[in-house]
Amino acid sequence: MGIGSTILDNIQNLEDIESHEEKLYKILEVYMNVFPVKNAYLFRYSPLGFIGEGIIALTCHGLIHIRDIRDDIRSLPLIYSALYERKAKYCSGIEYLKQINIKYITTSNVNSFLATPICFGAVPIGYICTNEFDEHGKISDQQLSSYTQFGQHVGKTLEKTEGKEDARLLSRREMEVMKRISWGESIKEMADSMLISEVTINQYIKTAIRKLGAQNRTQAIAEMFRRGMIS
């Protein structure tokens, strides 16, 4: 089942949006409009660290920030499978209880879960999760194909985002350290490869967090992705 021309038109229109933050919001808005879903949670993914970081979500309550969510996606089999195979994955019923971490089970009447990977070519860089749907029953393989294609086209759109002005907010070293954190590198690994002390790296991190107006590393990385400073 191919993705419809109307959906493609909506995705292509995203390229005209200059603000990376607005683009992320519009991606979820398009997703909610074209698919029978009631919520959409956007996560950034670091392939090197297997880390999933919450960015924003659209629900019945509107737009919310989910920057405090940070997971090793190897503990979430359905999401891991979707990213590894670069295909949308769906589960329901008993499989939902087996594969989804308890913190993602938001209400007692929710028993389905969909993970749609967002890819730059063959590299997954994020994913959209949904656990409430307009229609009951299983999502077919044909429908999953449409979700997969949506993630592929969205990835191409995000790849063109530059975010140059916000990138100037941090120094070169601060940017390098924060990028390495986003990849999942430890302080020790950075110190060894960058040939600087762990104390210096921690100072770069502290300064970057302050400049970004964040409370911790997780929020800082999510903020950098939201602004288009990292992908």
pLDDT tops 60 at residue 102: no
pLDDT digits (tens, 9 = 90+) for 183-229: 778 899 999 999 999 999 999 999 999 999 998 888 888 888 878 78
pLDDT of residue 28: 95
12 and 39 housed in the same domain: yes
When divided into structural domains, the chain yields a total of 2
Instruction: Quote the domain boundaries for residue 42.
Output: 3-163
pLDDT digits (tens, 9 = 90+) for 144-192: 999 999 999 998 887 766 555 455 789 999 999 998 888 778 899 999 9
pLDDT digits (tens, 9 = 90+) for 128-144: 999 989 876 568 888 99
| Pairwise CA distance, residues 140 & 7, whole Å | 19
- Is there a domain that residue 104 lies in? yes
Whole-structure pTM value? 0.76
- Is there a domain that residue 7 lies in? yes
Domain end marker among 163, 178, 209: 163
Interior CA angle at 50 toward 45 and 51, to 5°? Answer: 55
60 and 7 housed in the same domain: yes
To 10 degrees, what angle do helices 198-211 and 172-183 make? 100
Whole-angstrom CA distances from 157 to 1, 11, 115, 116, 160 are 21, 8, 19, 16, 6
- What are the tokens at 82? 């979707």
